[in-house]
Amino acid sequence: MPLTEQQAIQQFVNYLKFQKRYSKHTVLAYEHDLQAFFDYLALQYGMSGFTDIKPGYVRSWLALQKQQGMASKTIARKISSLKTFFRFLMKQQLLAASPMATIMAPKLSKRLPQFVEKEDMSTLLGTVEFTEDWVGRTALMMIQILYNTGIRQAELVSLKEAHIDGSKGTLKVLGKGNKERIIPISEELAGQMKAYSEAKRKELEEANTEYLLVTAKGKQLYPRFVYDGVKKYLQLVTTIDKKSPHVLRHSFATHLMNNGADLNAVKELLGHSSLAATQVYTHNTIDKLKDIHKKAHPKA
């Protein structure tokens, strides 16, 4: 008995969750894209199912998104959702050919990642006074870890005490797709994390001792707590547009590259699956070199 489009979508969602191990956010985005596409087919062409979809139907839907003012980056994501879905159907031998074969994603303008200047980070970690309550102490710890390791916000929230090896100076991080990577940490950072853990046990009642970072109530951190804390203190030292935890990841990578770090090494530290994702930081490095050249060379 042939699968309905909803059954096919559900199988695809399960594939993304349990085999590809995509994040919850990514799975929801793909599912939403597919539902919107099939709703359009039903409304515009009175059709259901996935076996008779023509490239023209896809182009018509994408053109509608553009007319409604959707950003090119979002449209590219929707194309990726459809391509991945139809590849999955072909792999399962539910479809002979994909209607996406001739569909091209729009060209995206490359935006350089924003980062906090090295001097501003020194000011933040060396001069700015954090509040003396537990929230302030946790905010300082969060920022120190994010900037010193380049880990993602989700990785920070799920960081466990057992992942820290102070004697070896390493941190084990569980990244996207449950991929583990080992990040070197300084003796100073290891000591700060140890002191935080000891204070947690001493000062908080019923504190969660599995995860390193906790709220004033001893509960595991949540993304909004991290975002608000980072933004509060970054706005004291920088005027860049974005003041998020991810900006500290960009700062970590950019400062490494500006100081001559090997691109492949930065790739491994960030947990990127391909070198292409890391190469964006070379642009910031080149911009820095151009600036130095312009200021220092008499003929620049």
Reading phi first (left if > 0) and then psi (alpha if -120 to 50, else beta), residue 279 is in alpha
- The C-alpha atoms of residue 241 and residue 54 are separated, in whole angstroms, by 42
Which residues are part of the catalytic machinery?
152, 176, 246, 249, 272, 281
Query: What pairs with residue 220 in β-bridges?
Result: 214
Report the chain's terminal Cα–Cα distance, integer Å.
Answer: 72
- The C-alpha atoms of residue 241 and residue 248 are separated, in whole angstroms, by 13
Residues 6+ apart with CB under 8 A from 44: 57, 60, 61
Structure tokens at 48: 């259901």
Q: How far is CA 164 from CA 22, 173, 192, 247, in A?
A: 25, 9, 12, 23
Residue 49 CB: number of other CB atoms within 10 A?
13
List the one residue out of 240, 167, 179 whose CA is nearest residue 22.
179
List the one residue out of 155, 187, 149 whose CA is nearest residue 168.
187
List the one residue out of 295, 261, 300 whose CA is nearest residue 281.
261
